[in-house]
Amino acid sequence: TTSYITAIDGANELNAYVTKTPEKALEMAKASDERIAKGEARPLEGIPLGIKDLYCTKGVGAYACSHILDGFTPEYESTVTQNLWDDGAVMLGKLAMDEFAMGSTTETSYFGPVKNPWRAEGESIDRVPGGSSGGSAAAVAARICAGATASDTGGSIRQPAAFTGTVGIKPTYGRCSRWGMIAFASSLDQAGPIARTVRDAAIMMKSMASVDAKDTTSVDLPVPDYEAALTGDIKGMKVGIPKEYRVDGMPEEVEANWQQGIDWLKAAGAEIVDISLPMTKYALPAYYIVAPAEASSNLARYDGVKYGLRVNGNDIIDMYEKTRAAGFGSEVKRRILIGTYVLSAGYYDAYYLRAQKIRSLIKQDFEKAFQSVDTILTPATPSAAFELNKEITDPVEMYLNDIFTVTVNMAGLPGISVPSGKNGQGLPMGLQLIGKAFDEETLFRTAGVLE
């Protein structure tokens, strides 16, 4: 813990931490030392972790990297973080993210952008760490935490993991409790870890998962020993390759990386099966209706009364308006506008209802595919990490980053991103494995072979 605290201060340039809690960390580490001395070590005893700023942590600010949560210090602990502390983990601090988890670069954070510790060979240009869990991914990659919590609504664990050469898993919807996680889109949000290796991710996942009376969408199923699933044996496993993921204009290096993954799995004895997921092309537009709709509703609670920032006005309505105008960043405002529009009486049927129908069809696509395969292999992202501060004026261009990941959230399935080598510029690349509901074990086992 001491060496991590030193390393964190030495890596300020990355801007990965928005809140550092060194005193708390040392106190927790001391308690862990005492436990170890007594022979009472728990599974994560003394392991120093970073926590995405979207998790409520008792007595430590939780801002979701938004100005509107200025000064908000939760009175309670999220279930996921409590589970980690109950297993002996140590908290190093809170990690940067896109504001309210909306974004793919961590540039929408109120606390400024995070730098990816990776750069292209021979270049001095900073790259984005991906998003929204960019602080988590950058911190794990830079070795300024042993592992980190993250969250994934449309790819926010898997895409930053792919951009930083780390492992990230979004488990099945319901595997982790969402209680105490600041909500973005409640029917899509899931907690998960970002870690250095598949084994580390498996160990963290086991601690994070639980059924919870405080989240009725959490599922009462035994949590398997994910680490034990890492047998390395995938002989006879059927791996689906969906043709619809071979999208137009897919860069050569992404295609080559995917083929490499196919070859590795084949060499390990897996059987490769061509499959079709015909609804894939509708996933992104449907996601960008469902997610903003839920976000607009979830974010209605930030009104200057209950949480964080208040900007005084002439009357209460004026106060609400001034607070929300000053407190939310432009991407969040865009999502609120889209969300309220698609939910409004005149447009509900045309947009929201249709998107929900598409969501059912996407789910059915996967159900059909999983009748003949055990897991599905796809690229994790359509490119490696791009440059920081790149002028992207069209928001849709940014949304295209999520093309391979959003389907998984729409269907509630588990997805893991695993490092699969580097591109021609020496930047990390990632592959995604998608699994059947609650079959994270197959993902860990297969990812262990690809790693």
* DSSP-based helix, strand, coil % in the chain, nearest 5: 40, 15, 45
Q: Is 128 in the site for ligand GLN (CB under 6 A)?
A: no
Q: Which is nearer to ligand GLN, 103 or 428 (CB)?
A: 103
Does 154 interact with ligand GLN (rule: CB under 6 A)? yes
Q: Does 338 bind ligand GLN (CB under 6 A)?
A: no
Helix residue ranges, H only, 344-393: 354-369
Least distance in Å: CB of 243 to ligand GLN? Answer: 24
Residue 294 contacts ligand GLN per CB under 6 A: no
Which of 379, 444, 365 lies closest to 170 in space, CA to CA?
A: 444
Task: Give 408 or 449: the residue with its C-beta nearer to ligand GLN.
Answer: 408
Residue 54 in the binding site for ligand GLN (CB under 6 A): no
Instruction: Name the closest residue to ligand GLN (Cβ).
Output: 156
Binding segment for ligand GLN (CB under 6 A), chosen from 153-161, 202-210, 232-240, 377-385, is 153-161
Half-sphere exposure of 135 (CA within 13 A, CB side): 35
CB burial class (10 A; 0-12, 13-18, 19+) of residue 100? buried
Please report whether residue 153 would count as binding ligand GLN according to CB under 6 A: yes
Residue 403 sits in the site that holds ligand GLN (CB under 6 A): no
Nearest to 376 by CA among 261, 239, 254: 239
Half-sphere exposure of 136 (CA within 13 A, CB side): 39
Question: What is the C-alpha radius of gyration for the chain, rounded to an integer number of angstroms?
Answer: 21
Please identify which of the residues 104, 109, 132, 420 carries the catalytic annotation.
132
Binding mask 12-51 for ligand GLN (x = CB under 6 A): ----------------------------------------
Give Cα 225 distance to the centre of its chain. Answer: 22
Tokens matching residue 153:
């609504």
Q: Are 111 and 99 in contact (CB under 8 A)?
A: no
- Our finding on whether 402 is near ligand GLN (CB under 6 A) is yes
Active site annotation includes 133 = no
Length of the chain counted residue by residue: 451
Query: Which of the following is catalytic: 104, 133, 156, 218?
Result: 156
- 149 near ligand GLN (CB under 6 A): no
Q: Which positions lie near ligand GLN, rule CB under 6 A?
A: 101-104, 132, 152-156, 184, 291, 402
Query: What is the set of active-site residues?
Result: 52, 132, 156
